[in-house]
Structure 1
Amino acid sequence: MRELLKSLDKLNHVYEQFDLLNFRAHKVMPLTFNKKDSKALLPQNKRLYFSYSYLDKEKTRLTNLILTQVINLKDPLFKQKKMLHPKLIDKALKLKNIDETHKKEMSELPNRNRKINKLKRLINMINDENIGICQGYLTQIKLLLYQNKKSLFIERPQQYKERELLDDSDFRMKIMQFDYDRYLYDDFTPEDFLDYLIFEKIRRHASFIKSYDARVLLPDATNCGFSGIAYEVEIDGISECYVTFKGTEADMDYTENSRSKRLEKFLLEGYKDWNYNVNAILVGKSEENDQLVVAREFMKYLQEHLKDNCLVYGLGHSLGGHFVQTLQLIDDCFKAGYTLNSAPVNLKQVQQVSPDLFDETTWQKLFELTNQKTVTNILNREIKRLLPREYPEIINQSFEQDLTQVFYEISYTIWVGQKWEYNLNTWKYPFKQHLASYLNEEEIHSYQHFFEQLFAYLRDSTTGTQIMRNTLSFVRARVKILQDDIDKPETSEFFYDYSNYLHESGIFLDRPQEINDDLNNSQLTMWKSSRREWPFLKSLNMDMLDLSVYFHIISGVKYFLNRTPNRID
């Protein structure tokens, strides 16, 4: 079994290198297409493909070795627990099947000669490795061994220290990612997963673990889309609780065989979160505070059921980071906390939920400071002086140009605690998070109003198909209004400013031009007409859109965190 554990660790390291290679490939994706960038891509492609080829061969070798080791494994334990050996073989076979399927699909990929396409093909091949799923099966094999043969797992002699797990970046990433990947662990409880993860990180056994799932404890959580899970643990007499809040990304359950059911769940979950993002955070409407209300109920439940001396920590990615910050401002829930690419706190929403947090004068000052704002250090210091305290225990880590940073440019939004921003030196990534540099106050409010109207239009949608159909119907109607009013100077200016912002952010490759007068007289379809009159629409940069999503999710942003951040107090 010890040889099997070594092989499992080696294969897990290979998948970690695949994951890092994926980040490196995304990082060198050219977004400008000038000759210099294109020329530099040729040697980069060669290095990346060489690394991939080596890792792919090593993965296949280790996958075959692990399957052989598992099948040939002889242990007296199997006589006592007759299902253990078949379970181990089943997990190893799933790894083997994924590897064989990948080889077949990889051979069917077209051979493209352009340098940029070769890089895209490499990224597709890495994604086809199903890194997360395979690492899940590897963890499950080790988890089965850990549960049934603890003598193989030797503890360190040093006692556990307070916050040791919280301060481990890899532990934070894995426990936050678990909320997205729970579908992979149907054979195990969250306690099983955390028990092994704790030992893997600190080489100490937990004496007590209990999980609290908001969707199990609070019926309203599922209805409104809120997702949170808390883990109460005790290690060497120290009691801690890690409360994780899930982000906006709906998890695609690949264990569901029906593609339509998989997509249906994905769309409905995503819709609920974006409805909250838009109405509660972007707009600050009181009618859509349901997720925050449930989050407070969840924290109240935990406070009533956790041990008295338990240290409570908050962890959240994207939308989940918004809950960590907002709950800390309103209720002081956490001893400490980390957020990753977090959405902001909306003061209008906070006032509706907790009007007594500030007196009327303070509320008015905060609203004056955060209306029509451009983010500056001076402004941040003025805002902090009005808050109950500085909240240094909350650390908000983010990729400096993450797409959620646009939310911090919206009126009445703030962050709570410290902000650590990460980037790469001499790296070309054009996305602009400072809206106020391109759009005036009225245009930003128009941006908010558009999405508010969209979700009002989608309110009665009950299925994924209805959400998609009604979204297209809404966009089609708004484009028709734009076409009818494009000859008005203010409409033309609005359109140009938005378009120019998207161009400067790399979403469109071509710069927008002046609008032609005969747009509204065109007999072509809406899309063909738009592309004829606004040629830059044909230059939609899907590479930039893909990158903006990749650097937002946990698997993409985590590789920024080993660099020195720009700390904003």
Structure 2
Amino acid sequence: MKELLKSLDKLNRIYDQFDLLNFRAHKVIPLTFNKKDSKKLLPQNKRLYFSYSYLDKEKTRLTNLILSQAIDLKDPLFKQNKELHPALIDKSLKLKNIDETHKKETADLPNRNRKINKLKRLITMIDDENIGLCQGYLTQMKVLLYQNKDSLFTERTKKYQAKELLDDVDFRMKIMQFDYDRYLYEDFTPENFLNYLIFDKVQRHASFIKSYDARVLLPEAEQCGFSGIAYEVEIDGIRECYVTFKGTEADMDYTENSRSKRLEKFLLEGYKDWNYNVKAILVGTSEELDQLVMARKFISYLQKSIQDKCFIYGLGHSLGGHLVQTLQLTDDCFKAGYTLNSAPVNLKQVQEVTPDLFDEQIWNKLFKLTNKKTVTNILNREIKQLLPREYPEIINQSFEQDLTQVFYEIPYTIWIGQKWEYNLNTWKYPFKNHLASYLTENEIHSYQHFFAQLFNYLQDSTTGPQVMRNALGFMRARVKILQDDIDKPETAEFFYDYSNYLYESGIFLDRPQEVTDDFNKSQPTMWKSSRREWPFLKSLNMDMLELSVYFHIISGVKYFLNRTPNKIE
């Protein structure tokens, strides 16, 4: 079994290298946005393809080795647990099947020699490796071995220290990712997964682990889209509770055989989260507080249920990070916490749920400071002086140009605690997150109003197809209004400013031009007219859209965290 365990570790490291290679490939995608920069791709592609070729061969070798080791494995333990050996073989066969299927699909990819397309082809090939799924199967095999024969795992002599897990970056990433990947561990409880993960990180055995799933404890949580898991653990007499809040990243459950049901779940989960993002964070209306209300109920339940002298730590990605920050401001419930690419706190929302947090004078000062939003260190310091305290125990880590940072320039939004921003040196990445540099105050309010109207229009949607159908209906209606009003100077100016922001951010490749008089409803269709009269609209840069999402999700942003952050006061 020790040899099998070594092979599992080696293959897991290969998949880690695949994941890092994926990041490196995405990192050079901005070079494809213009011909001058794309010349640098030729040497880049050669190095990336060489690394991929080596990793792919090693992956196949180790996958075959693990399967043969699992089949040939003999141990007296198998007589006591007759399901263990077949389970190990089953996971090994699944790894082998993914490897063989990948090779067949890779062979069908067109052999495109243009250096830009070769880079995109490489990313497609890495995506097809199913890194997350394969690492899930590897972890399941390790969990099985750890559960049944922990003597294979050498424990360190030094006792566990408080916050040791919290301060481990890889632990934080994996425990936050688990809520997205729970479908990979359907044969195991969260306790099984965490028990092994704890030992893997600190080489000490946990004496107690209990998980609390918000969607089990609070049935109405799923209805509004709220998702969170808490883990109460004890290691060497130290009790800690890790609370993880899931972000907006909807997970595609590939264990569901029906493609339509997978898509249905994906669309509805995404819609619920974005409904909260827009109404509660972007706009700050009082009508959409369900997820925050559920989060407060969840924390209240935990505080009553966990053991005394058990410190509660908050962890959250994206929307989940917003909940960590907001809960700390409203309820001061975490001993410490980390957020990743977090959405901000909206003061209008906070006032709705905890009106007594500040007196009327402080509320007015905060609203005045954050009404016209241009993020500066001076403004941040003025805001912090009005808060109950500085909250140094909350650390907000983010990619400096992450798409959620746009929210921080929306009126009435703030962050609490420390803010650590990460980037790469001498790197071109066009996305702009400072809205105030491109849009006027009225245009930003119009931006908020547009999305508020959209989700009000969608509020009666109960299925995935209804969400899509109603969203398209809303867009058609707004395009018709735009078409009718495009000759008005104020409309043209608004449209130009938004378009220019999207161009400067790389979302569109063509610089916007003034709309001509021929752009009117006498044309056959709005789309045909716009494509002929305004090339900008047909230059949507899907590579940039995909890139902005990749650097937002955990698997993409985590590789920035080994850099030295810019710590904002």
- TM-score, scaled relative to structure 2: 0.99
Matched, 1:219 2:207: no
- Write the letter of the residue equivalent to 2:111: N
Q: How far did residue 219 of structure 1 move?
A: 1.2
1:525 and 1:488 mapped to 2: Cα distance? 20
1:320-340, Cα deviation, whole Å (9 max, x unpaired):
000000000000010000000
Matching residue of 1:65: 65
Matching residue of 2:184: 184
Matching residue of 1:370: 370
Matching residue of 1:352: 352
Matching residue of 2:478: 478
Matched, 1:341 2:341: yes
1:227-247, Cα deviation, whole Å (9 max, x unpaired):
000000000000000000000
- Write the letter of the residue equivalent to 2:21: L
1:490-542, Cα deviation, whole Å (9 max, x unpaired):
00000000000000000011100010112114332222222122211111111
- Write the letter of the residue equivalent to 2:47: R
- Write the letter of the residue equivalent to 1:533: E
Matching residue of 1:119: 119
Structure 1 residues 522, 535: closer, same or farther in 2, change over 3 A?
farther
Q: How far did residue 32 of structure 1 move?
A: 5.8
Matching residue of 2:110: 110
Moved more, 81-90 or 525-534: 525-534
- Tell whether the 8 Å contact from 1:245 to 1:320 is kept in structure 2 after alignment: yes
- Tell whether the 8 Å contact from 1:282 to 1:407 is kept in structure 2 after alignment: yes
Matching residue of 1:292: 292
SS at match of 1:487: coil
- Tell whether the 8 Å contact from 1:511 to 1:536 is kept in structure 2 after alignment: yes
Superposition map of 1:450-489 within 5 A: 450-489=450-489
Matching residue of 2:396: 396
What is the Cα-based RMSD across aligned positions, in Å? 0.7
Superposition map of 1:425-444 within 5 A: 425-444=425-444
Superposition map of 1:15-26 within 5 A: 15-26=15-26
Superposition map of 1:74-93 within 5 A: 74-93=74-93
Q: How far did residue 34 of structure 1 move?
A: 3.6
- Tell whether the 8 Å contact from 1:143 to 1:192 is kept in structure 2 after alignment: yes
2:477 and 2:295 mapped to 1: Cα distance? 36
1:253-304, Cα deviation, whole Å (9 max, x unpaired):
0111110000000000000000000000001111100110010000000000
1:32 and 1:11 mapped to 2: Cα distance? 32
Task: Flag structure 1 segments of 5+ consecutive residues without an equivalent.
Answer: none
SS at match of 2:439: coil
Moved more, 123-132 or 522-531: 522-531
Matching residue of 1:46: 46
- Write the letter of the residue equivalent to 1:195: N
- Tell whether the 8 Å contact from 1:31 to 1:544 is kept in structure 2 after alignment: no
Matching residue of 2:447: 447
- Tell whether the 8 Å contact from 2:31 to 2:41 is kept in structure 1 after alignment: no
Matching residue of 2:495: 495
Superposition map of 1:235-250 within 5 A: 235-250=235-250
Matching residue of 1:129: 129
Matching residue of 2:154: 154
1:416-470, Cα deviation, whole Å (9 max, x unpaired):
1000000000000011100000000110000000000000100111100010011
Matching residue of 1:8: 8
1:376 and 1:223 mapped to 2: Cα distance? 38
1:429 and 1:392 mapped to 2: Cα distance? 30
Structure 1 residues 304, 33: closer, same or farther in 2, change over 3 A?
closer
Q: How far did residue 104 of structure 1 move?
A: 0.4
1:529 and 1:470 mapped to 2: Cα distance? 24
1:389 and 1:487 mapped to 2: Cα distance? 51
Count of residues paired in the alignment: 569
1:387 and 1:293 mapped to 2: Cα distance? 21
- Write the letter of the residue equivalent to 1:18: F
Superposition map of 1:521-560 within 5 A: 521-560=521-560
1:154-173, Cα deviation, whole Å (9 max, x unpaired):
10000000000000000000
- Tell whether the 8 Å contact from 2:31 to 2:38 is kept in structure 1 after alignment: no
Q: How far did residue 84 of structure 1 move?
A: 0.7
- Tell whether the 8 Å contact from 1:30 to 1:116 is kept in structure 2 after alignment: no
- Write the letter of the residue equivalent to 1:272: K
2:255 and 2:143 mapped to 1: Cα distance? 20
SS at match of 1:241: strand
- Tell whether the 8 Å contact from 1:4 to 1:69 is kept in structure 2 after alignment: yes
1:191-242, Cα deviation, whole Å (9 max, x unpaired):
0000000000000000000000000000110111000000000000000000
- Write the letter of the residue equivalent to 2:356: D
1:432 and 1:536 mapped to 2: Cα distance? 18
- Tell whether the 8 Å contact from 1:522 to 1:529 is kept in structure 2 after alignment: no
Superposition map of 1:254-333 within 5 A: 254-333=254-333
- Tell whether the 8 Å contact from 1:31 to 1:506 is kept in structure 2 after alignment: no
- Write the letter of the residue equivalent to 1:361: Q
2:174 and 2:381 mapped to 1: Cα distance? 33
Name the % identity.
85
1:18 and 1:84 mapped to 2: Cα distance? 29
Runs of 4+ in 1 over 6 A off after TM superposition: none
SS at match of 1:288: coil
- Write the letter of the residue equivalent to 2:317: H
- Write the letter of the residue equivalent to 1:244: T
1:207 and 1:32 mapped to 2: Cα distance? 52
- Tell whether the 8 Å contact from 2:483 to 2:521 is kept in structure 1 after alignment: no
1:230 and 1:60 mapped to 2: Cα distance? 37
1:455 and 1:385 mapped to 2: Cα distance? 35
2:290 and 2:422 mapped to 1: Cα distance? 32
- Tell whether the 8 Å contact from 2:32 to 2:116 is kept in structure 1 after alignment: no
SS at match of 1:287: coil
- Tell whether the 8 Å contact from 1:67 to 1:96 is kept in structure 2 after alignment: yes
Matching residue of 1:202: 202
2:388 and 2:31 mapped to 1: Cα distance? 44
- Write the letter of the residue equivalent to 1:552: H
Structure 1 residues 442, 32: closer, same or farther in 2, change over 3 A?
farther
- Tell whether the 8 Å contact from 1:313 to 1:336 is kept in structure 2 after alignment: yes
Matched, 1:382 2:379: no
- Write the letter of the residue equivalent to 1:294: M
2:183 and 2:88 mapped to 1: Cα distance? 18
- TM-score, scaled relative to structure 1: 0.99
SS at match of 2:30: coil
SS at match of 1:519: coil
- Tell whether the 8 Å contact from 1:419 to 1:567 is kept in structure 2 after alignment: yes
1:221 and 1:416 mapped to 2: Cα distance? 25
- Tell whether the 8 Å contact from 1:31 to 1:543 is kept in structure 2 after alignment: no
SS at match of 1:396: strand
1:394 and 1:34 mapped to 2: Cα distance? 40
2:16 and 2:515 mapped to 1: Cα distance? 49
- Tell whether the 8 Å contact from 1:343 to 1:404 is kept in structure 2 after alignment: yes
- Write the letter of the residue equivalent to 1:78: F
SS at match of 2:339: strand
- Tell whether the 8 Å contact from 2:30 to 2:429 is kept in structure 1 after alignment: no
Q: How far did residue 36 of structure 1 move?
A: 3.6
- Write the letter of the residue equivalent to 1:138: L
